[in-house]
A and B are shown apart, each in its own frame.
Chain A
Amino acid sequence: MSYWKEFIKGVWEHNPQLVVGLGFCPTLAITTSLSNALWMTLSTAFVLVCSNVLISLIRGIAHSHLRIPLYITIIATFVTIVDLSLNAYQPAVYRSLGIFIPLIVVNCITLGRAEEFAQKNSVIRSLLDGAGMGLGFGLTLIVLSFFREVLGANQLFGYTLIRGMEPAAVMILAPGAFFTLGLMLWAMNTINSRRRSK
């Protein structure tokens, strides 16, 4: 597989949420605003790339029964770095994302990519895989949060869109996340099955 394909597969073919079905927890929870989604994307992508690279580097010394504790230690380290940095330099974002930054540790995507990919592949491929998966994860977040913020809060990046309009609050609540995600899954599957049948 070419390096480009290794990178780009995370965006569509192996999109973490829409195809593989991982990482639904932050996807549903923090997509209430576009800025949340962007910062979550950056944080998760950073953790994914760093942990993938490091895990790929130590894949020789990781015993089979030692894998999970090792991976979790490494992932938690990078998440803590993100957590402390956001707290120090982006306090507003840190306050807004709250518990979901520490929860990247248990995000299935990071551990999933470590198990699935980084422990079997070279450093460069793991890096590209992490970056691509981060991008794919982020794009899903961005599309989802765009619709939820516009319809559910009548806002974009925190700025009101139409003065005096009462937004559909259900979109900002949990059901809105499920509706939108469901529609995205449906659209994705429809496009894919059309492409396949051609």
Chain B
Amino acid sequence: MIRDIVKPTLTLAAVAFICTLLLSYVQKFTEPAIKRQKGENQDEALKLVLPGFSVGDAQKISMAGVEFLFWIGKKKVDYKTVKGYAFITAGAGYGGNIESMVGVDESGKILGVSILNQSETPGLGARCVEVANRETLWDYIKNGMPARDYNKERRIPWFQNQFEGIDANAEVRITRRGVWNPEMRPQLLETNAISALTGATITTAAVVQSIRLGMTTLKKALSMRLPDTDGGAQ
């Protein structure tokens, strides 16, 4: 009895206790770095999806039990102040939720999309965060690695880049055109379409779906606010 039940139980409990203790220390140690990463990600994403806007503080609204986070930005264009909105939305991809930040202008036109979190299949769905390289490996070997200045030259993944100019209020169509490049933009914009990731239609659809959902929630959130408050319904 003691040999078969008590002793193994105690052993297992002791090992689990030691492991948990160790992990709690590791977690304490890595937590600030993880948090900083997340904060930096969010700030960078805001700059990306609302370019040139001065963005206010994050606003939280609870919608059907789910927290909805959005920002209101302002920018002066020809002596007039235009507003832009950014929000965080998520959709179910192939390997879990894909969380992205979307920036739209007052008419619902997308200013930028930035994927914050994803756990899609490497090489397939994970290519939604892939940056297209123009230089080849041989160029790098010949000319040396360029000193990368991430602040000056923003390298936007092509999948996210193609959302710029898409009307988020209308239906976003998905086409199969392979890797997107800037030359494809006018043609795709005509039909309000984006090019899907090869072999990862689920990922593509999840991002599109999450934008639609976020847009609906944003409109609800804006109409819930009093008209006279800063940045309320137009």
Count of chain A residues with a beta carbon within 8 Å of a chain B beta carbon: 46
Q: CA separation between A36 and B124, bound complex, in Å?
A: 13
> Is B186 in the interface zone, CB < 8 Å from A?
no
> Is A70 in the interface zone, CB < 8 Å from B?
yes
What is the count of residue pairs linking A and B with beta-carbon distances less than 8 angstroms?
Answer: 107
Which residues of B have CB within 8 Å of A87?
30, 34, 37
Considering only residues 1-47 of chain B, those with a C-beta below 8 Å from chain A are 7-8, 11-12, 15-16, 19, 22-23, 26-27, 30-31, 33-34, 37, 41
Which residues of B have CB within 8 Å of A152?
123
- Asked if A81 meets B23 with Cβ closer than 8 Å, knowing A66-B12, A88-B33, A98-B118, the reply is yes
Q: Is the CB of B8 within 8 A of A65?
A: yes
Which residues of A have CB within 8 Å of B117?
95
Q: CA separation between A61 and B14, bound complex, in Å?
A: 12
Which residues of B have CB within 8 Å of A69?
12
Give chain A nearest CB distance to B128 CB in angstroms: 10
B63-71, B135-143, B221-229: which lies at the A interface? B135-143
Knowing that A91-B41, A159-B135 are A-B contacts, what are 14 other residue pairs whose CB atoms are under 8 Å apart, sorted by A's residue number? A32-B123, A36-B122, A66-B11, A70-B12, A73-B15, A77-B22, A87-B37, A88-B34, A88-B37, A89-B30, A155-B133, A161-B136, A172-B123, A173-B123
**Chain A: residues with CB nearer than 8 A to chain B?**
29-30, 32-33, 36, 58, 61-63, 65-66, 69-70, 73-74, 76-77, 80-81, 84-85, 87-89, 91, 95-100, 148, 152-153, 155-163, 169, 172-173
**Chain B: residues with CB nearer than 8 A to chain A?**
7-8, 11-12, 15-16, 19, 22-23, 26-27, 30-31, 33-34, 37, 41, 95-96, 117-124, 126, 129, 133-138, 140, 198-199
